[in-house]
Amino acid sequence: MRIGILGTGNMADALGTQWARAGHEVLVAGRSADRAAALAGRIAGGIGGRTACRAGTLREAAAFGDATLLAVPHAAVPEVLKEAGADEDGGGVLRGRVLIDCTNAIGPGFVLTTQGGPGAAARIAEATGAHVVKAFNHCADSVWRLTPPAFPDGPLTAPLAVPLCGDDERALETVRTLVRDMGCVPLAAGGLDRAVYLETATAFLIGLWVSGKDPRRMLPPFEAATA
């Protein structure tokens, strides 16, 4: 698969490395050509140069792939989409393409900056006309860097489930493949109208994690919760 990445920070690094390792062709881009080149080198170097990973412009990254990952701060999304040629009220370069939205619009106090309006994914879908899939926003980049992201579950080690919200079956199947390729399991979490709940739940989870509380302790086993 060909994957374009908008952003050259931690999430671009973590997910780009996983997908390059799985044999996908990755093109990374950001506002700094130097940082994009450095990341492309790091991704290729990190997996022994066995990959096709290169840097390009935001415009190239948006038009490059079978999927595009949007990995910039929420506040920077309009600027980045404009630079990529993707913000023309649904008529830009990302129209009809698979766009993975991992952004979190979380401000001080773990409050959503989108509160009271459409969620981040809905805004991105509206601006781009892309088949947006919300994914990978609910865990830190340190989790996505694990090979694989899997944790003890009783006596076994279970792969991490990645909730996906989206409306387009082809886009969802593309992202399910990318989830499995990094050793995780996809978790169907509803249409794009559910993405705002995933965004809200993530703000809630981060608030607990950062204050040293383990949210797993509030969750009963599945059988008990559904009895």
Ligand X SMILES: NC(=O)c1ccc[n+]([C@@H]2O[C@H](COP(=O)([O-])OP(=O)(O)OC[C@H]3O[C@@H](n4cnc5c(N)ncnc54)[C@H](OP(=O)(O)O)[C@@H]3O)[C@@H](O)[C@H]2O)c1
Q: Residues interacting with ligand X, by CB under 6 A?
A: 7-12, 30-32, 35, 71-74, 76, 79-80, 102-104, 137, 140-141
Of 38 and 150, the one with the shorter C-beta distance to ligand X is: 38
At its nearest, how many Å lie between ligand X and the CB of residue 140?
4
Q: Taking the CB of residue 162, how many other CB atoms lie within 10 A of it?
A: 23
Of 63 and 203, the one with the shorter C-beta distance to ligand X is: 203
Of 39 and 171, the one with the shorter C-beta distance to ligand X is: 39
Starting at the earlier edge strand, list the strands of the sheet with 185-188: 53-55, 25-29, 2-6, 67-70, 98-101, 131-134, 161-166, 185-188
At its nearest, how many Å lie between ligand X and the CB of residue 119?
13
Of 34 and 126, the one with the shorter C-beta distance to ligand X is: 34
Name the residue number minimizing CB distance to ligand X: 9
Of 17 and 104, the one with the shorter C-beta distance to ligand X is: 104
- Could you tell me which residues come within 8 angstroms of residue 181 by beta carbon, excluding any fewer than 6 positions away? 18, 19, 22, 24
Q: Which tokens go with 34?
A: 């130097």
At its nearest, how many Å lie between ligand X and the CB of residue 154?
27
Of 11 and 164, the one with the shorter C-beta distance to ligand X is: 11
Could you give the CA distance from residue 140 to residue 120 in angstroms, rounded to a whole number? 18
Half-sphere CA count of 64, side-chain side, radius 13 A: 25
At its nearest, how many Å lie between ligand X and the CB of residue 1?
21
Of 74 and 97, the one with the shorter C-beta distance to ligand X is: 74
Give me the helix-helix angle, 120-128 and 195-210, nearest 10°.
Answer: 140
Output the CA–CA distances (angstroms, integers) from residue 12 to 43, 69, 122, in the order listed: 10, 8, 21
At its nearest, how many Å lie between ligand X and the CB of residue 15?
9
Question: Do 105 and 112 meet the contact criterion of CB atoms below 8 Å apart?
Answer: yes
Kindly tell me the burial class for residue 60, based on how many C-beta atoms sit within 10 Å of its own C-beta (0-12, 13-18, 19 or more). middle
At its nearest, how many Å lie between ligand X and the CB of residue 155?
29
Could you give the CA distance from residue 197 to residue 118 in angstroms, rounded to a whole number? 11
At its nearest, how many Å lie between ligand X and the CB of residue 51?
20
